[in-house]
């Protein structure tokens, strides 16, 4: 059994207030106590779980109750559904058959269709996403919708550039995500790989969309984000305009306090260094 099953069990125990520890984790899954402790350390370091050991309970609790595991996985039932759709789409031969067949081919990648087994021994696929790319997609999608110029750090080989761009469209091709944009200074049309984008910052400058090049808002850009976002509670100096704070989705909780969603911690910290705000309530 993979450590993801153990981590999910441990997470559920913490949420139910059972104060699990390495001994109980080891006993539950018949693993060594050392391996169990490594799972807990993995949650803290890689999954950024706000675990705190409570001595009087001899177990762990979450310091931030709003925390959620930042990974999603596909269940066996969902896998069966995708396999069924792949078979049906392959057999489709009516309108838009070519597009439907391409979807079938894509679904097959997740189902091991045609591998010759009956599915009983198929390993459960786990889906993740690079936090920085997810963050870039989120910010760029907002900038496209609001026609706002973005400042981008872009790496191309050994060269790193700082660009002011008018984002037009997000798209996926050749198993990679791309941004189509106009350079603010030269007016040159550019196509950038999102995995080479180091940092994105939305500016207050707006631009008029070019006729025939109205951007795709990116609601479903490339591979959609599969991670649940982190959240922070921030007291702002003044109410933001719209439903975002410089591209970060927000929700008013009351009295100038907003819940802010983000995917990449480093990018969000950099945003806090330059943005105007009164108090960071959580995480601390």
**For residue range 90-102, what is the model confidence (pLDDT) as tens digits?**
656 555 667 666 7
Instruction: Indicate the range of 9-23, 130-144, 189-203 predicted with least confidence.
Output: 130-144
Residue 32 has pLDDT above 50, yes or no: yes
**pLDDT tier, 25 (very low <50, low <70, confident <90, very high otherwise):** very high
Look at residue 128 in the predicted model and tell me its pLDDT: 44
Percent of the chain residues past pLDDT 70, beyond the cut: 68
Q: Region 258-268: what's the mean pLDDT? A: 80
pLDDT above 90: residue 22: yes
Q: Which residue has the higher pLDDT, 52 or 124?
A: 52
Q: How many helices (H) and strands (E) does the chain have?
A: 7, 14
Q: What is the pLDDT of residue 217?
A: 45
Residue 6, SS3 per DSSP? helix
Answer positive or negative: Cα dihedral of 175, 220, 113, 72.
positive
Q: 50 falls in which pLDDT band (50, 70, 90)?
A: very high
Report the C-alpha gap between 92 and 86 in whole angstroms. Answer: 10
Q: What is the pLDDT of residue 93?
A: 58
Please give the Cα distance from 195 to 217 (Å, whole number): 19
pLDDT above 80: residue 174: no
Q: Domain spans of the chain?
A: 3-65, 75-123, 131-206, 230-282
Of 173, 186, 183, 78, whose CA–CA distance to 125 is shortest? 78
Q: Residue 91 belongs to what H/E stretch? A: helix 76-91
In whole angstroms, give the CA distance from residue 235 to residue 280.
Answer: 6
Report which DSSP code applies to 117.
S
Q: Which architecture does CATH list for 3-65?
A: Orthogonal Bundle (1.10)
Bigger pLDDT: 63 or 157? Answer: 63
| Mean pLDDT in residue range 198-217 | 72
pLDDT of residue 83 exceeding 70, the answer is: no
Q: Tell which wins on pLDDT, 284 or 8.
A: 8
Contacts of residue 22, Cβ cutoff 8 Å, sequence gap at least 6? 33, 36, 37, 40
The angle that helices 22-29 and 33-45 make with each other, rounded to 10 degrees, is 120
Q: List the beta bridge partners of residue 54.
A: 59
Q: To the nearest 10°, report the CA torsion of 143, 147, 148, 153.
A: 60
CA 187 from chain centre, in angstroms, equals 31
Quickly state the pLDDT bin for 123 (edges 50, 70, 90): very low
The predicted model scores a pTM of 0.41
Can you tell me the distance from the alpha carbon of 153 to that of 142, in angstroms, rounded to the nearest whole number?
18
Q: How many CA atoms lie within 13 A of 181 on its CB side?
A: 27
Q: Which residues lie closer than 8 Å to 144 by C-beta, 6 or more apart?
A: 167, 168, 169, 170, 215, 216, 217, 218
> Alpha carbon of 30 to those of 12, 34, 123, 184, 243: distances in Å?
18, 12, 21, 59, 48
- Smallest CA-to-CA distance from 240 within 115, 141, 104, 146 is with 146
| Domain spanning 131-206, CATH class | mainly beta
Q: Judge whether residue 136 has pLDDT over 60.
A: yes
Tell me how far apart the alpha carbons of residues 79 and 44 are, in angstroms, rounded to a whole number: 29
Q: Half-sphere exposure of residue 77, counting CA atoms within 13 Å on the CB side? A: 0
Share of residues in the chain with pLDDT > 90 (%): 17
Closest CA to 282 of 249, 243, 262: 262
pLDDT of residue 150: 92
């Amino acid at each position: 059994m993979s450590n993801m099953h153990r981590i999910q069990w441990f997470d559920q125990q913490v949420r139910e207030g059972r104060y699990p520890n390495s001994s109980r984790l080891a006993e539950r899954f018949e693993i060594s106590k050392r391996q169990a402790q490594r799972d807990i350390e993995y949650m803290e370091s890689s999954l950024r779980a706000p675990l705190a050991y409570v001595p009087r309970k001899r177990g762990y609790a979450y310091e931030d109750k709003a925390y959620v595991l930042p990974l999603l996985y596909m269940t066996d039932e969902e896998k069966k559904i995708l396999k069924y759709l792949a078979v049906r789409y392959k057999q489709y031969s009516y309108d838009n058959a070519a597009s439907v067949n391409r979807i079938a081919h894509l679904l097959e990648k997740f189902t091991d269709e045609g591998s010759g087994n009956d599915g009983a021994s198929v390993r459960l696929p786990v889906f993740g996403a690079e936090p920085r790319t997810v963050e870039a997609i989120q910010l760029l999608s907002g900038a496209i919708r609001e026609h706002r110029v973005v400042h981008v750090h872009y790496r191309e080989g050994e060269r790193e550039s700082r660009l002011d761009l008018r984002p037009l469209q997000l798209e996926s091709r050749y198993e990679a995500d791309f941004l189509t944009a106009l350079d603010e200074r030269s007016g040159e049309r550019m196509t950038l790989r999102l995995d080479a984008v180091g940092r994105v910052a939305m500016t207050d400058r707006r631009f008029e969309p070019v006729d025939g090049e109205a951007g795709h808002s990116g609601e479903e850009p490339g591979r959609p984000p599969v991670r649940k976002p982190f959240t922070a509670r921030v007291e702002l100096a003044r109410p933001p305009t719209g439903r975002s704070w410089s591209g970060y989705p927000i929700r008013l909780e009351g009295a100038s306090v907003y819940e802010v969603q983000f995917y990449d911690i480093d990018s969000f910290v950099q945003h806090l260094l330059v943005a105007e705000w009164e108090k960071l309530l959580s995480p601390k």
